[in-house]
């Protein structure tokens, strides 16, 4: 019916315009056409100028602790690109993981559900049955009209599930070979050594290649691009040139003290396992070599981050793309007689968190407020004008991105195994184990957590201020050794 009406109007318009007997009518129609054309042009221009939902560059870095230049924890580190990204937006000096292990940390961040809610507390526990596809971060962006691309390690073991991504990059890298200069592949379970391969053989290099390809393409939808860098996860094996940046005779060990576990309760000592990796490393005399290898691997990772930043900066999306970089947890290299993550102290819990959000963040901003990575999911939704699902347990930190000095009352919370929780405020770290034993450290006076103050009654109010934030739900642990049975693996 409408088509017929418009057709009749069109015929009448043509007749009126070309009829010599209707000069007045012709003049009226020409005026109307002019108004119509102006209106259409204005509408098209407004549509072109209307703000589009921002793109997202989501950079996950595996096992990267706070040894980055701008956080000042280790002056030997070389991270000019990560530091450059921090200078572009807001960096958080007290950012903590949800759990100090890859599997639960990533499952919590990507689902918005804490380990104490899902039961996924450690590696080797399958989160798939307890985290429906409908609840994940990527699903929310897909439902909101985004293309969602993924590559590398986003979930533990490079798992991903069909239906939560538009596309997921999978490509095998060439075989990696230790350089002839390597003594062997490390000390016990702490694996390291230089490689004879070029950068282009490294899995992370291939993952960044994919990301750069996506940044160079024309997209008809906003995109969410998740880039998971595996390094500096062990083995700390990268091309030899990166090791050469850190001469062995210049390596300083991280600050530590003998018998550091003397005032730590048995639950903490059990996590530290001082008779394991640390004792073996001391016997080997190669502690400095391990530190060198970790620094070299961080530097390699920084180069990959630099490639991503350069790719974004040279793309057509640089002014409308949110960048968030996070390390999934920290790492000990002998501090508190402990190696690896799997503990509730500062070294295991703290990691970099950097945000660059056009129109929201200010360059060079530093936020000392304590936040944990449960804030990432709701903040991304908030920035992209996507409704935060009701199940999400974290809180958006958009107010801190706008003003890094804004009030923020809640502490950061990290959980490792059932009923073991670590809290971080700007001044204190408080640890409460399942058996009720405690640790408390004053970071203004004791940044390396050498003196446990939990037994001093003058700090009872400090401890109580943290206890009110204990999770109300602490579900049983999921079965072990099932974490890799489900989900598609990405071999890149």
pLDDT for 481 equals: 77
What beta strand segments (E) does 271-402 contain? 321-327, 332-333, 339-340, 353-356, 365-372
With 70 as the cut, is the pLDDT of residue 20 above it?
no
Place of tokens 């950068």: 199
Place of tokens 């060439």: 174
- Tens of pLDDT, residue by residue over 379-406, are 999 999 999 999 999 999 999 999 999 9
Contact 164, 239 (CB under 8 A): no
With 80 as the cut, is the pLDDT of residue 486 above it?
no
pLDDT for 30 equals: 52
Considering the candidates 156, 205, 233, 338, report the single residue annotated as catalytic: 156
With 60 as the cut, is the pLDDT of residue 137 above it?
yes
pLDDT for 1 equals: 42
For residue 156, indicate whether it is catalytic: yes
Burial of 382 (0-12, 13-18, 19+ CB in 10 A): buried
- Strand partners for 148: 224
For residue 28, indicate whether it is catalytic: no
Between CA 479 and CA 125 the distance in angstroms is 6
Place of tokens 């079965």: 479
Burial of 343 (0-12, 13-18, 19+ CB in 10 A): buried
Task: Please provide the average confidence, as pLDDT, over all residues in the chain.
Answer: 91
Among 3.40.720.10, 3.40.50.12280, 3.40.50.720, 3.40.50.150, name the CATH number for the domain at 51-489: 3.40.720.10
pLDDT for 34 equals: 54
With 50 as the cut, is the pLDDT of residue 487 above it?
no
Between CA 238 and CA 294 the distance in angstroms is 10
- Tens of pLDDT, residue by residue over 333-358, are 999 999 999 999 999 999 999 999 99
pLDDT for 52 equals: 81
38-48 average pLDDT score = 46
Residue 150 tokens read as: 């993924």
- Tens of pLDDT, residue by residue over 148-174, are 999 999 999 767 888 999 999 988 889
Considering the candidates 70, 97, 102, 367, report the single residue annotated as catalytic: 102
Q: Taking the mean position of all CA atoms in its chain, how far away is CA 485?
A: 24
Instruction: Give the total residue count for the chain.
Output: 492
Q: Give the pTM.
A: 0.89
Between CA 17 and CA 301 the distance in angstroms is 69
Domain boundaries defined on the chain = 2-47, 51-489
Task: Considering only residues 264 and 35, tell me which one the structure prediction assigns the higher pLDDT.
Answer: 264
């Amino acid at each position: 019916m409408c088509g017929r009406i418009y057709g009749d109007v069109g015929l009448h318009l043509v007749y009126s315009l070309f009829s010599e007997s209707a000069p007045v009518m012709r003049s009226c129609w020409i005026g109307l056409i002019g108004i119509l054309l102006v209106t259409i042009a204005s509408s098209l221009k407004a549509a072109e100028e209307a703000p589009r939902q921002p793109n997202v560059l989501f950079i996950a870095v595996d096992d990267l602790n706070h040894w980055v230049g701008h956080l000042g924890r280790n002056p030997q580190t070389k991270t000019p690109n990560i530091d450059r990204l921090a200078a572009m937006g807001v960096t958080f000096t007290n950012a903590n993981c949800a759990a100090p292990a890859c599997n639960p940390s990533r499952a919590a961040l990507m689902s918005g559900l804490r380990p104490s809610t899902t039961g996924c507390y450690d590696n080797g526990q399958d989160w798939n049955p307890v985290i429906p596809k409908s609840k994940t971060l990527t699903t929310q962006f897909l439902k909101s009209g985004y293309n969602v691309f993924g590559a590398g390690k986003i979930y533990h073991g490079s798992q991903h599930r069909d239906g939560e991504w538009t596309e997921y990059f999978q490509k095998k890298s060439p075989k990696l070979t230790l350089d002839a200069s390597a003594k062997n592949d490390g000390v016990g379970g702490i694996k390291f050594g230089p490689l004879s391969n070029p950068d282009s053989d490294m899995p992370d290099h291939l993952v960044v290649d994919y990301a750069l390809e996506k940044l160079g393409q024309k997209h008809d939808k906003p995109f969410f691009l998740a880039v998971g860098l595996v390094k500096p996860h062990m083995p700390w094996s990268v091309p030899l040139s990166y090791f050469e940046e850190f001469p062995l005779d210049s390596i300083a060990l991280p600050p530590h003290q003998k018998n550091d576990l003397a005032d730590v309760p048995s639950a903490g000592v059990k996590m530290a396992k001082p008779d394991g990796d640390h004792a073996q490393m001391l016997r080997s005399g190669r502690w400095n070599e391990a530190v060198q290898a970790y620094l070299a691997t961080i530097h390699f990772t920084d180069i990959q981050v630099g490639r991503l930043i350069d790719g974004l900066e040279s793309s057509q999306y640089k002014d409308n793309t949110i960048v968030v970089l996070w390390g999934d947890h920290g790492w000990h290299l002998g501090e508190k007689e402990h190696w690896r993550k799997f503990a509730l102290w500062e070294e295991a819990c703290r990691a970099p968190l950097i945000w660059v959000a056009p129109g929201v963040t200010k360059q060079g901003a530093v936020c000392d407020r304590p936040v944990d990575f449960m804030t990432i999911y709701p903040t991304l939704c908030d920035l992209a004008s996507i409704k935060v699902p009701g199940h999400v347990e974290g809180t958006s930190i958009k107010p801190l991105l706008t003003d890094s000095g804004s009030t923020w009352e809640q502490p950061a919370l990290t959980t490792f195994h059932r009923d073991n929780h670590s809290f971080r405020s700007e001044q204190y770290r408080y640890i409460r184990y399942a058996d009720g034993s405690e640790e408390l450290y004053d970071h203004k006076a004791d940044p390396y957590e050498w003196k446990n103050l939990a037994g001093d009654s003058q700090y009872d109010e400090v401890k109580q201020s943290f206890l009110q934030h204990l999770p109300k739900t602490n579900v049983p642990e999921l079965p072990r050794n099932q974490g890799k049975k489900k989900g598609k693996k990405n071999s890149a």
